C-alpha cells in the first residue's frame, strides 16, 4: 500500500514537472514570437482593447450623465482623475467609452475594406483579361475620389451613426488592398504549385480559395494593421465635424470638438482625447511596421 502511494506520488510529481515544462515552452514560444516588438505600442493597444471590451466595468462614472454642480473640475486624485467637462461628466469615463467607439469603428471598417479589396484582388488576378481591366478601372475611379469630401457627403445623407461610419470608411478604403494584393496574386499565379493545380484540372475558385488566399494572408494582415490608424483618424474627423457618432455617445473626435472651446481655460478637455488618439494611431502604425518586418523572411532576423 505504501509502495503504491509512493508510486502514485512519483507519477504525480512527474506529471506536474511535465506540465510546467510545457507551460515554460509555450512562454518561450510567445516571447520568441514577440521578439523585437514595440512594447509600449503593444501595451497601449492592449489597454485600448481592454477599455473597449470592459468599458462598463472600468469606467468609474456614467459617460452621459453629469452633475452641473461638478462642472469644470480640474484633474485630481481625489474624485475625478481627468477632471470633468462643461456638464459635470467624468472625463476619464468618457475617454474609456470613446476607446470602445474608436476600436470598434477601426476594426470593423478595416474588416469591411479588407474583405472587399481581397475579393476584388482575387477575382482580378485569377481571371485576368477583361475582368481584370474592368475591376482595375473601377478601382482607379474610387482612388480618384476625395475621401473626406465623399465621406462627409455620404454620412450627411445617411445620417450620423456608428453603422454608417463603419460602412462609409470601409467602402472607401478598399482600393489599397485591391492594388497591393492583386500584385501578389499575379505573382503567385506564375508559381509552380499553382501551375500544377491548373494542369491537374483545379477550377479557378478552388485555386483562389485553396492556393492563393492562404499565401496572401500575411500581406493582408500587414495592410490591415496599417489601415486601422487611418480608420480611427477618419472616424475622429467625422465625429469632430458632428457627422460621426451621434450624441450622447462619446468618441474621441467628439471630445476634441467639445474641448476646443475651452482649450485656453480648461486645458484637460482637449488635451487628453488628443493624446489618446495620437497614441492609438502611433501604436497601430508601429505595430504594423513590426508585423511587416516579422512577415518578411528577408527582414525577419533584424
Domain boundaries, the chain: 1-33, 39-295
The mean pLDDT value for 102-124 works out to 92
Q: How sure is the predictor about 111, in pLDDT bands with cuts at 50, 70 and 90?
A: very high
In this predicted model, which residue has the larger pLDDT, 26 or 42? 42
According to the model, what pLDDT value does residue 161 have?
85
Domain 39-295 in this protein, CATH class: mainly alpha
In this predicted model, which residue has the larger pLDDT, 145 or 14? 145
According to the model, what pLDDT value does residue 32 have?
60
Average pLDDT over the chain, rounded to whole? 83
How far apart CA 165 and CA 158 sit, in angstroms, is 10
Percentage of the residues of the chain whose pLDDT score is greater than 90? 17
Nearest to 248 by CA among 109, 98, 78: 98
Q: How sure is the predictor about 182, in pLDDT bands with cuts at 50, 70 and 90?
A: very high
The mean pLDDT value for 180-192 works out to 89
How far apart CA 95 and CA 255 sit, in angstroms, is 8
Given the C-alpha cell 480559395, which residue does it identify? 209
- The pTM (predicted TM-score) of the whole model is 0.81
Query: Is the CB of residue 256 less than 8 Å from the CB of residue 14?
Result: no
Amino acid at each position: 500500500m505504501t509502495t503504491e502511494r509512493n508510486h502514485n506520488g512519483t507519477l504525480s510529481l512527474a506529471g506536474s514537472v511535465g506540465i510546467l515544462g510545457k507551460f515554460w515552452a509555450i512562454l518561450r514560444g510567445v516571447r520568441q514570437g514577440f521578439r523585437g516588438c514595440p512594447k509600449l505600442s503593444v501595451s497601449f493597444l492592449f489597454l485600448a482593447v481592454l477599455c473597449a471590451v470592459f468599458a462598463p466595468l472600468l469606467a468609474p462614472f456614467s459617460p452621459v450623465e453629469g452633475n452641473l454642480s461638478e462642472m469644470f473640475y480640474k484633474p485630481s486624485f481625489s474624485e475625478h482623475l481627468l477632471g470633468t467637462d462643461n456638464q459635470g461628466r467624468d472625463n476619464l469615463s468618457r475617454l474609456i467609452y470613446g476607446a470602445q467607439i474608436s476600436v470598434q469603428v477601426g476594426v470593423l471598417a478595416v474588416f469591411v475594406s479588407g474583405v472587399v479589396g481581397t475579393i476584388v484582388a482575387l477575382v482580378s488576378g485569377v481571371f485576368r483579361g477583361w475582368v481584370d481591366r474592368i475591376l482595375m478601372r473601377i478601382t482607379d475611379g474610387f482612388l480618384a475620389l476625395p475621401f473626406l469630401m465623399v465621406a462627409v457627403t455620404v454620412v450627411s445623407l445617411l445620417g450620423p451613426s456608428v453603422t454608417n461610419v463603419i460602412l462609409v470608411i470601409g467602402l472607401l478604403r478598399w482600393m489599397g488592398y485591391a492594388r497591393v494584393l492583386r500584385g501578389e496574386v499575379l505573382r503567385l499565379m506564375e508559381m509552380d504549385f499553382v501551375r500544377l493545380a491548373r494542369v491537374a484540372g483545379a477550377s479557378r475558385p478552388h485555386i483562389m480559395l485553396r492556393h492563393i488566399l492562404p499565401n496572401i494572408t500575411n500581406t493582408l494582415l500587414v495592410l490591415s494593421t496599417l489601415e486601422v490608424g487611418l480608420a480611427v483618424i477618419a472616424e475622429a474627423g467625422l465625429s469632430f465635424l458632428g457627422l460621426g457618432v451621434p450624441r450622447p455617445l462619446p468618441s474621441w473626435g467628439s471630445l476634441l470638438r467639445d474641448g476646443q472651446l475651452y482649450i485656453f481655460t480648461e486645458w484637460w478637455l482637449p488635451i487628453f482625447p488628443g493624446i489618446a488618439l495620437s497614441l492609438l494611431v502611433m501604436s497601430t502604425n508601429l505595430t504594423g511596421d513590426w508585423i511587416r518586418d516579422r512577415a518578411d523572411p528577408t527582414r525577419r532576423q533584424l
